[in-house]
Amino acid sequence: FPVAVVLPAGGSGERTGLSTPKQFCTFLTRPLISYTIQAFERVPWIERIVVVVAKESHSLMTDIVEKFNHAKVKIVHGGSTRHRSIFCGLQAFAETDESLLHKPKVVIIHDAVRPFVEEDFLHKITMAAKEQGASGAMRPLVSTVIATTSEGYLDHSLERAKYRASEMPQGFLYDIIYQAYQRCSESDFEFGTECLHLALHYCGTNAKLIEGPPTLWKVTYKRDLAAAEAVVKETLS
């Protein structure tokens, strides 16, 4: 069955404090996003990768695709929030007059700044999405989650062992996640954090969570860029 990927890469990476968006920072010879794309291109059963970038990054992304010969990639323009960008990516497969690509059965959504995803885990996510409607990666929590009062005092804390951190990739039947994004509100687009939540809330699907390997971490801060570079060097040496 056809499987495609949407890679949101339309952010500006404010938390790194750098002027270049983190997905375009170069390690050894390639920009970070090229390693992420490569991880998906190596998987023979993945047909298409829709990379969603800000309009102003279009020519940079085109250069990367040409230079590193990313044959499965289609570039589309994103929006002002991560959810708007993901919706732009999903729309590339929608059966409209402007539709660019064939509709997949399962779509995997993954952040462009999580370069170390591997085929066996993608396979688990894809099969669970096909059977259950939606699936996602989770990891044990590193820190305890607390709620504070408006004055900054401890209100309550959650029992860490009962909770998990939600990570990417997440997988969906295409029809379900596209419908969820069509139904979701402006506030979901603006403040929402979780694709799985939208699928559950608007389409009532099952959402199967699978514990993923530690390599699924996301590059968020400047120190994560250094750590990613170290992993790249280690795996290539």
Do β-strands 46-53 and 73-77 pair in parallel, antiparallel, or remain unpaired?
A: parallel
Which stretch, 13-21, 24-32, 93-101, 188-196, contacts ligand CTP (CB under 6 A)? Answer: 13-21
Those residues whose C-beta lies under 8 Å from the C-beta of residue 42, and which sit 6 or more positions away, are: 119
Binding to Mg ion by CB under 5 A, coded x per residue (else -) over 11-40, reads x-----------------------------
Say if residues 90 and 189 touch (Cβ distance below 8 Å): no
- For residue 197, the minimal CB distance to ligand CTP (Å) is 16
CA pair distance 106, 92, nearest whole angstrom? 14
The helix or strand, by DSSP H or E, that contains position 157, with its residue range, turns out to be: strand 154-157
Binding to ligand CTP by CB under 6 A, coded x per residue (else -) over 37-76, reads ---------------x------------------------
Site membership for ligand CTP, residue 220 (CB under 6 A): yes
Say if residues 176 and 170 touch (Cβ distance below 8 Å): no
The residue (of 41 and 167) whose beta carbon lies closer to ligand CTP is 167
What secondary structure does DSSP assign to 123-144, as a single string?
A: HHHHHHHHHHSEEEEEEE-SS-
13 interface partner picked from ligand CTP, Mg ion, none, CB below 5 to 8 A per type: ligand CTP
Task: Give the interface with Mg ion as residue ranges (CB under 5 A).
Answer: 11
**Residues at the contact surface with ligand CTP, assessed by CB under 6 A:** 8-15, 21, 23, 52, 78-82, 85, 111-113, 218, 220
